[in-house]
Amino acid sequence: MLSGRYAKRHPAYASRVLSRRRRACCQRGLACLVFAVAAGNRSSAMTASLSWPIKVYVLGGFRLERDGSALDLGAKPPTRALDILRTLATSQGQACPLEGLQDWLWPDLDGDQAKAACDQALHRLRKLLGQTDLVVQREGKLRLAADRVWVDLAEWEARLKQVLASNAVTEPELEQLFLLFPGPLLLHERIAAWCLPAAERVRRDVIELAIRIGKHCEARNDAGKARTIYLRALDFYPDSVRIYKALIQSGIAQDDVAGAIEDYSSYERTLRASGDSTPSPELRALIRLLFARLAPETRSVAQCARAGRERFVQVLKPATIPA
């Protein structure tokens, strides 16, 4: 336990302990939210799984289901055949030109050799899926059969588009969509060049969704829930400057200067862990502005966190900070 007397004598330590407790509380609250959303959608998800011969999962990792059961890829999965499937699943409309596919997957082969290699990999893919009509070749393009192959990325993006297009969209609808997001595209796999546009698109949409929900929460004075949403987004994209900016701004708006400083410290630790030593100029400027209004630069972070917060917090409200 952290006694009040010890906390007063060692404010920096107290700040770190409280920060860890705050993060733990947010994570516990998040677990409850995710469980509630998942429980409410379990029956519909089970029904949907029975209506598709093939289901392709690319969010949060790659896996396949055939007729509702996990598809065993064997001890030596057909790499290029699965690359074709990954490419189609992450392409707009689940389709891409054959020539482009050959250039992406067999860049070192000439035209005829690349075509032959592609034909062989396509044959293996159809054999793996169990039916030849699941991957359609027509007019120089490959396409997944839209009525027989379900892709989680396409489903999630369609739901996102539908929700955002509604003029009457509610915060619970946005929150449900966010909490059901499984994870980044092809998690734990090396992202190939042909997959980067889709990966960046998903990242942008998830971060935008998290910030939109967080601002809704902050507008009704529920900073705790906003923080929970931001931390979940950081679990997916731990280097997101936009999410860290939202976290820091939220802390400042709540007069939690110590928390804002700790969030920036967490951002810098994440950068160092990834081998990047160049912090965002935007975040550095935000923290410098905070320090300049709190105390002279010669003071420690702990002293800054304690110094006259009420006097300066009004000029640092999120609405006054340039985007």
Each residue's pLDDT, cut to its tens digit, for the chain (323 residues) gives 343 343 444 444 444 444 554 555 555 555 555 444 444 444 444 344 458 999 999 999 999 999 999 998 888 899 999 999 999 999 999 999 999 999 999 999 998 999 999 999 999 999 999 999 999 999 999 999 999 999 999 999 999 998 888 777 788 999 999 999 999 999 888 888 888 999 999 999 999 999 999 999 999 999 999 999 999 999 999 999 999 999 999 999 998 888 999 999 999 999 999 888 788 999 999 888 888 777 554 455 445 544 444 434 433 444 333 33
Same domain assignment for residues 31 and 175: yes
Paired sense of beta strands 95-97 and 63-66, if any: unpaired
Same domain assignment for residues 87 and 217: no
Report how far residue 293's alpha carbon sits from residue 316's, in angstroms, rounded to the nearest whole number: 9
Q: What is the CATH number of the domain that holds 286?
A: 1.25.40
Same domain assignment for residues 34 and 70: no
Report how far residue 75's alpha carbon sits from residue 65's, in angstroms, rounded to the nearest whole number: 17
Instruction: Confirm whether 49 is domain-assigned.
Output: no
DSSP three-state, residue 62: coil
pLDDT in tens, 217-230: 999 999 999 999 99
Same domain assignment for residues 24 and 70: no
Q: Is residue 134 a contact partner of residue 126, using CB atoms and an 8 Å limit?
A: yes
With 0-12 CB in 10 A as exposed, 13-18 as middle and 19+ as buried, what is 118? buried
Same domain assignment for residues 204 and 281: yes
- End-to-end CA, the chain: 40
How many Cα atoms sit within 13 Å of 11 on the Cβ side? Answer: 12
pLDDT in tens, 78-134: 999 999 999 999 999 999 999 999 999 999 999 899 999 999 999 999 999 999 999
Give 54's DSSP letter. E
Same domain assignment for residues 39 and 69: no
Paired sense of beta strands 95-97 and 141-144, if any: antiparallel
DSSP three-state, residue 300: coil
Torsion angle of alpha carbons 184, 185, 191, 197, nearest 10°? Answer: -110
- The reported pLDDT for the residue numbered 9 is 44
Same domain assignment for residues 74 and 96: yes
- The reported pLDDT for the residue numbered 303 is 52
Instruction: Confirm whether 236 is domain-assigned.
Output: yes
Q: Count up the domains in the chain and report the number.
A: 2
Say what angle helices 79-90 and 111-129 make with each other, to 10 degrees: 90
Same domain assignment for residues 219 and 255: yes
Instruction: Confirm whether 163 is domain-assigned.
Output: no
> DSSP letters of 123-177?
HHHHHHHT-GGGEEEETTEEEE-TTTEEEHHHHHHHHHHHHHH-TT--HHHHHHH
Instruction: Confirm whether 22 is domain-assigned.
Output: yes
Structural domain range at position 311: 4-44+171-320
- The reported pLDDT for the residue numbered 33 is 52
Instruction: Confirm whether 162 is domain-assigned.
Output: no
DSSP three-state, residue 55: strand
| pTM for the model | 0.76
Q: What is the CATH number of the domain that holds 91?
A: 1.10.10.10
Instruction: Confirm whether 159 is domain-assigned.
Output: no
Report how far residue 266's alpha carbon sits from residue 16's, in angstroms, rounded to the nearest whole number: 11
Strand-pairing partners, residue 143, are 95, 136
